[in-house]
Structure 1
Amino acid sequence: ELNHDDVRALLERPEIKYLSEMMNFPGVLYKDEEVLKKIAAAHELGKPVDGHAPGLRGDAVQQYIDAGISTDHECFTAEEALDKLQRGMKILIREGSAAKNFEALVDLLNNWPEMMMFCSDDKHPDSLVTSHINELCARAVAKGINIFNVLQAACINPILHYKLDVGALQVGDDADFVVAEDLVNFIIKQTYIDGVLLAEHGKTVGDWIKHNAEKESVNHFDCGFKKVEDFVYPYQNESEIPVIEALDGQLMNFGMKQGAIASSVAHDSHNIIAVGVDDKSICEAVNLVIKETGGVVALGKGKEEVLPLPVAGLMSNHNGYEVAERYTSIDKFAKDLGSTLIAPFMTLSFMALLVIPHLKLSDKGLFDGDSFSFLVD
């Protein structure tokens, strides 16, 4: 665990621009000493603190803001976002692969252009290769939002808030900019960094990236193979066993009919997380993740698909388009196995994120995100 001294040491590095996502909002509200010292370290170094406060309203969110937290990207309703805006908090309109809040929040841009930004938060590679913030710009313009409000939220506000080393087309700035086909569809034709063409028509150009998939990756993944009996639920003749369902972004029903899926991406501790129709399938899926020292796995119907993640068990070292193609395939396979979720792997990863209400999974048992405590049988 990173303590406040570790956080300060990292924040002292010039390339680290802010303290990201103060997820432990109960720690802020209950004035946990270690949490407050981390926030103080960022402020003392002149760096902003990002928030993470789903559903926090009224006096509670005011206390959170007063602690020095300046943004939130977890608003699901316009009412919640407006409450935070009126209290001086900046709101990031999130549109990811699982959590989608654009439609609920975008109209606030009409009156709060200087206080809002766009973000994706968590977005799958197959979505990233088609669009990112540019898609949100196009959708906002299509809804009648003033073009200058849209551009301010997409371009200017992030640079100013996070004090980014990015040119803003002012005299003396670095020539960092994109060339769009128009300001309606926002199809990006070219990207320039420091005045040099970096990408054109969606492809990297020149020698900017010396890609080497064979380069040794940093990975401290350490886990021994599992046996089927490790996954057997220890019940004793109960007539009913408690189960969990999963909807997109929350626990409800995964809908799996065959096999299992597993992943070493499980926010934020990133233990292996899996769901399947039987212990044997779950065990096989978990062992495939272990074999690859990290990855995303689906198996069933007599076959298996694996997307290895050799960098810390969380990232690939391969070309983004190749990763997107493989992810598209494994996502489709998970749905062929019965999952009815829009983003089964993203939903699976968020099932382990303890700081988002309500019921979550951890390596220490079920966790209640509302009371911020583990559930005891």
Structure 2
Amino acid sequence: MLFQDKDKPVQVSLSEGRSYELAFGPLSELPLKMREAGLRPGKCVVVTDTNVAGHYRATLDAILQYDGWDPLILTLPAGEETKSPKPLQAIYDAALAWNIDRQTPVLALGGGVIGDLAGFAASSILRGVPFVQIPTSLIAQVDSSIGGKTGINHDEGKNLIGAFYQPRLVLIDTKLLYTLPRREWSSGLAEIIKHALIQDEPFFAWMESTMPQILARDPAVIDDLVYRAAAIKAEVVSEDEFERGRRAILNYGHTFGHALEKVLGYGVLTHGEAVTVGMRAALFMSRRFSRKIDQERVDRILLQIPIPPIPATISIANVREAMASDKKRESDRLRFVLLKKIGQAYVTDDVTVSDVDAAWAFALGRT
């Protein structure tokens, strides 16, 4: 059965015998899970943003203090602009002024931006302190909090400064998702669809049949949705921690999506919205190389993710040129993740400029 193990924690297995747990449960279990991960009460640094703080800052503060922790809570502005050098410096300044040591954990309470930023701070301050993820967005619970990718953006492109730095623990409380704005919920669904497309056709079929409930955030399906999507990410990361091989399939739609984000300006589209457009472009390209892919079936579910209109002033040449800064390129050749069929992906650089332009034309509605 698709969800037969959903009551078990998911282990992310890493090189040299290391591992960490994706713990599914309420926020109140955080102190217990931190102890199980080898973290003992003392000082801790919590990084969050203005949106999340209004819902959960006081609750987390009380939970930590009750268990003997002394939290320093840093609340940063919400938005993609926070994933940048100045907020990173602010974390360094506050943590060092508070006289932390190498056993002081950094906790990320927020979505992908906060997780990436706080994780990079944890990886670099004092040459590395323990890191705990408490993801509050759908995209973070199923994707960005799992696997150790941390970092910030640069004017030249997204995620160009960063490090692989694995958390000691990821606590996933699906109840935190019910305060998400509708747009952020839809954005997270894009990454879940991606996971199904690259690895799990039965999960994709289940999503097809339950999409109305998923879009409505029906509690009857949310736990299953998050558990399976997070487990897929954990499976892929466990096979390839540092993205030297198979893990690259997780970038399906991202080579296109990151270019669109750069051209539009970060924050105009959510990451999931940009990736949805990118997945449609990659789907079109996949169909050109494999007749096994059911393009209409995949496109039918992707089109259920609401996307704001892309300005007509954004040309195919603009987005193609923006792809040149993609960090996944090798020897100046872009690498694309394509689908052989639903549930099976591969990486190729055997793609022409005309292939890229045709895919963009389809995804941007310029055909």
Task: Establish whether TM, by shorter chain, passes 0.5.
Answer: no
Does 1 or 2 have the higher relative contact order (CA < 8 Å, sep 6+)? 2
Q: TM-score, normalised by structure 1?
A: 0.28
Choose between structure 1 and 2: higher helix proportion.
2
Q: TM-score, normalised by structure 2?
A: 0.28
